[in-house]
Structures are given as structure tokens and as C-alpha cells.
């Protein structure tokens, strides 16, 4: 009997988790049983992935940068990577604005529903407003200041400080390039071995993926608000999902145009990472699987994937930026506000920059959305209008974030001559082995 592929196991776990959640909510005490005895296993699974996120970025980036052996090569690849990431983010925001202005989902929100939602989620809304307030009070160059950590150990202790960890890893890798090879070789050998250990840990953790996503989905179902609230926000959710699907189609088109990879091959290669991204709502937690799929199944050289993907997991949040654009205009529509073209252009710029600084963890987009709303003069209390459906949409937009990272890595690999066909490569290796015999 053929062994079931990982992505099918994950998909089965997701479906069973949803079914189990719906069954448990029909029983008295069912919600509490799921929260107390099932959800913790999902939390453990996410924590185990987050546990290796920082070591993975340190090991893979230092290895990736030092393997370049040339500063000019580093700046060339880095410049192209960041430029493409920014361009795809601007396109994502523009698609979101086009859809929300065409569909106008905010017109379906009634006064009664708005009051109910604000009352139900005012506490959660205030939490995000307080976190964002401290960021808004900082100066225009605070983002640059925050990029450089005072203490790498302290920075590595928080997953939300991924940019600082990336800065240190790139800086460290550049240092390895600039010193004599006789001095750098022992350090490089250490990080090569360190990276291999982390990848093996990923393999072990992924054995539990189907069970982890089962627990996560079951908990999500039993903790969801009433169906009436979801129905009231159905048009908003549909607008976001439609925009995210268009972005997936855009990525497939880019991959086909720039690399010649067929759509079904691309989706098959990246689908396990997409499913895991959907379950965890975290680009950082999904990063280990994304790197494995892109390298082993899409033919991206490890030199490129270990450099492009960790950066993308932090600064390339196309799904998040699209959602922020739709959410901002939706809230304005719900409050009866008509946003002029100039204000919406401001949303494009703010959402793009906010997505770059957004942490690759669940719910981070809500914090950055407050800044987008403030820039556009939209009431921040409107966050409560979308909080009810934020978690499911967070899962969907994380899929787009991960797919975007994979797309850009393939484009960069093709431009650097580092993209191969995994099947052809394996055949060549086997052929060479047989020839030597």
C-alpha cells in the first residue's frame, strides 16, 4: 500500500478537526473539553515550530550568506529580493482596494450588528489599539533603530524580533566572507552541521503535524462566535478571500512566465506548506516546511532558498497587506465614510510599510491595521467589526504570504541560474551512480 503523502495527512487532520469541533459544540461542556484536553496539543505543535524558527533563521541565513563568497553577489541578490517583495506587496494592496471599492461589503453591515460586534469585542480591540499606540508615537526613523538589536540574545528570545535576528545573521555572514577562508572554515562547518540538525528536528516535528492541525481546527470551531455574526460579515470575508485567490493566481502566472514551471507542479510542490500555513496562521512557524518544499520539490538551490525565504517570512506579507486594505475601506464603509482617492493611495503606502514590519505570527496584522486606520482617519473602534472573522481570514492570508515567498525564491533562483528540475536532477544523480558502477 502506497504511503499517504504528508499534505494529505494534514488535510485529513484539518477536516476531522472541523467535524469534531462541530460535534462537540452540540454537547453541554463540549467546548470546555476541547479547550482543556484537545487545544493544548495544537498549542504544543505551534510552540515546537516556533521553537526552531530563530535557530533555523540563524543557521540558514549565516550559511546562505557565507556560501555566496562574494559581497557583490550578496548585494545583487538582496537588492532583487527586496525589490520584488515590495512590488508584489503594492500589487496585493491595489487588488484589495479595487475589490473592496467594487463589491462594497460595508454596505451590508447594519447598525444593530455593528453595535453588537463592538460590544462583544471591545476588550480585544483595545488590546490591539494599545499595542499600536506605542508604535505610532515613535519617530519616522524608529524602524531603522529597531532593526539593530542591542543584544542578540535578547532579540533571539522573541519571535517578533525576526528582523533583528535576520540583521545579525546577515551581518555575521558578511563577516565570514571578509575574513580568510582558513579562519572562516571551522565556523562555516559548525553552522553547516547546525543547520542539518535543525532540519532533522523539523522532520521529527512534522510527524505530529496531522494531529497538531486537528487540535487547532477543533479549538477554532468551538471558540467561534455565533453564526449570525459571520453571516453579517460574509461579504467582507468573501472580498478578502477573492482578493487572496487572485494573488495566488498572480503568483502562479509569475512562476509560469519567469520559470516555465507548470501551475499544477508549482501547487503540488508548495501545497504542504500552504496547508500548514492555513492551520498555524504563522509564516514563521511554516518557514521550516516552506524551505524544505522549495528546495527539495521546486528545485531552488539551497544558497537561494536559505537567503530569500527567511527574509520573506518577515517582510513579504502580501496577504496581510491585501487584508489591511480591504479591512480599512470596509470599516470606513460600515461607518458611512467615503474615502477619497488620495486617502486610498495613503493606504497603499501605509499597508505596504506596515506589512514589512509585521511579525510573522498569528494576529500581528491586527496590530498593524490600527496604524493603517489612523493614517486614513478611520475610527479605530471599527476593529471590532472585523475581529469576529479575523482568525479564519488570518489563516487564509498566511497561505498567500507563504506562496508569495516561494514564488519570489523561484524567480530569484531562475535569475541567478540556481533553479533546476528536481526530477531531472535526481535522474542525473542516479545515472551517474549507475555509470560509476
pLDDT tens column, 306-351: 888 888 876 788 888 898 888 888 888 777 677 787 778 878 777 7
Residue predicted with more confidence, 122 or 177: 177
Residue 254 predicted with pLDDT over 90 = yes
Separation of alpha carbons 150 and 168, rounded Å: 11
> 92 and 321 in contact (C-beta within 8 Å)?
yes
Separation of alpha carbons 186 and 241, rounded Å: 49
Task: Identify the band that residue 387 occupies on the pLDDT scale cut at 50, 70 and 90.
Answer: low
CATH code of the region 6-436: 1.10.3860.10
Residue 433 predicted with pLDDT over 50 = no
Task: Identify the band that residue 135 occupies on the pLDDT scale cut at 50, 70 and 90.
Answer: low
User: Which residue in 11, 49, 101 sits closest to 326, CA to CA?
Assistant: 101
pLDDT for res 430: 41
Residue 67 predicted with pLDDT over 80 = no
Separation of alpha carbons 147 and 27, rounded Å: 50
Residue predicted with more confidence, 225 or 279: 279
Separation of alpha carbons 285 and 246, rounded Å: 24
3-state secondary structure 200-237: HHHHHHHCCHHHHHHHHHHHHHHCCCCHHHHHHCHHHH
> Hey, where are the domains in the chain?
6-436
75-104 per-position pLDDT tens digit: 778 788 888 988 998 899 899 999 999 988
Residue 360 predicted with pLDDT over 60 = no
For the chain, percent helix, then strand, then coil, each to nearest 5? 85, 0, 15
Work out the average pLDDT over 386-406.
Answer: 84
163-213 per-position pLDDT tens digit: 688 788 888 988 988 888 889 899 989 988 998 888 788 778 878 888 988
> 102 and 330 in contact (C-beta within 8 Å)?
no
Separation of alpha carbons 134 and 150, rounded Å: 19
Q: Which three cell numbers stand for residue 384?
A: 471590532
What percentage of the chain exceeds 70 in pLDDT? 76
pLDDT for res 404: 94
Residue 5 predicted with pLDDT over 50 = yes
User: Which residue in 381, 389, 105 sits closest to 229, CA to CA?
Assistant: 389
Helix segments in 179-317, DSSP class H: 181-206, 209-222, 227-232, 234-259, 263-280, 283-297, 302-315
pLDDT for res 434: 39
Work out the average pLDDT over 262-285.
Answer: 88
Residue predicted with more confidence, 431 or 47: 47
Is the pTM above the cut of 0.85?
Answer: no
User: Three-state SS for 300?
Assistant: strand
Task: Identify the band that residue 243 occupies on the pLDDT scale cut at 50, 70 and 90.
Answer: very high
Amino acid at each position: 500500500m502506497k504511503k499517504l503523502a504528508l499534505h494529505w495527512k494534514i488535510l485529513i487532520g484539518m477536516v476531522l478537526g472541523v467535524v469534531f469541533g462541530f460535534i462537540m459544540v452540540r454537547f453541554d461542556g463540549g467546548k470546555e473539553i476541547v479547550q482543556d484536553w484537545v487545544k493544548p496539543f495544537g498549542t504544543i505543535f505551534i510552540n515546537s515550530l516556533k521553537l526552531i524558527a530563530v535557530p533555523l533563521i540563524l543557521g540558514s541565513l549565516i550559511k546562505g550568506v557565507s556560501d555566496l563568497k562574494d559581497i557583490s553577489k550578496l548585494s545583487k541578490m538582496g537588492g532583487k529580493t527586496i525589490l520584488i517583495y515590495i512590488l508584489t506587496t503594492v500589487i496585493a494592496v491595489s487588488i484589495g482596494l479595487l475589490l473592496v471599492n467594487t463589491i462594497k461589503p460595508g454596505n451590508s453591515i447594519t447598525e444593530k450588528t455593528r453595535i453588537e460586534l463592538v460590544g462583544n469585542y471591545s476588550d480585544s480591540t483595545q488590546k490591539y489599539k494599545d499595542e499600536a499606540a506605542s508604535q505610532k508615537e515613535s519617530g519616522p526613523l524608529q524602524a531603522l533603530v529597531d532593526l539593530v538589536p542591542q543584544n542578540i540574545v535578547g532579540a533571539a528570545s522573541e519571535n517578533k524580533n525576526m528582523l533583528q535576528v535576520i540583521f545579525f545573521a546577515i551581518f555575521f555572514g558578511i563577516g565570514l566572507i571578509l575574513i580568510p577562508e582558513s579562519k572562516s572554515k571551522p565556523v562555516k562547518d559548525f553552522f553547516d552541521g547546525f543547520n542539518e540538525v535543525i532540519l532533522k528536528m523539523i522532520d521529527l516535528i512534522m510527524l505530529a503535524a496531522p494531529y497538531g492541525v486537528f487540535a487547532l481546527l477543533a479549538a477554532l470551531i468551538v471558540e467561534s462566535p455565533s453564526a449570525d455574526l459571520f453571516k453579517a460579515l460574509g461579504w467582507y470575508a468573501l472580498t478578502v478571500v477573492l482578493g487572496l485567490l487572485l494573488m495566488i493566481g498572480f503568483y502562479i502566472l509569475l512562476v509560469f512566465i519567469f520559470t516555465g514551471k507548470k501551475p499544477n507542479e508549482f501547487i503540488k510542490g508548495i501545497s504542504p506548506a500552504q496547508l500548514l500555513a492555513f492551520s498555524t496562521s504563522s509564516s514563521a512557524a511554516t518557514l521550516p516546511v516552506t524551505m524544505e518544499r522549495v528546495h527539495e520539490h521546486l528545485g531552488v538551490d539551497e544558497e537561494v532558498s536559505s537567503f530569500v525565504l527567511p527574509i520573506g517570512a518577515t517582510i513579504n506579507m502580501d496577504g496581510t497587506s491585501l487584508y489591511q486594505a480591504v479591512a480599512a475601506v470596509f470599516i470606513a464603509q460600515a461607518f458611512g465614510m467615503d474615502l477619497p482617492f488620495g486617502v486610498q493611495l495613503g493606504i497603499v503606502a501605509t499597508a505596504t510599510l506596515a506589512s514589512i514590519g509585521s511579525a510573522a505570527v498569528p494576529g500581528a496584522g491586527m496590530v498593524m491595521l490600527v496604524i493603517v486606520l489612523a493614517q486614513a482617519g478611520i475610527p479605530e473602534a471599527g476593529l471590532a467589526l472585523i475581529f469576529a472573522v479575523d482568525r479564519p481570514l488570518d489563516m487564509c492570508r498566511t497561505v498567500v504570504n507563504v506562496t508569495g515567498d516561494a514564488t519570489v525564491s523561484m524567480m530569484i533562483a531562475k535569475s541567478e541560474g540556481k533553479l533546476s528540475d528536481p526530477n531531472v536532477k535526481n535522474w542525473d544523480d542516479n545515472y551517474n551512480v549507475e555509470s560509476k558502477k
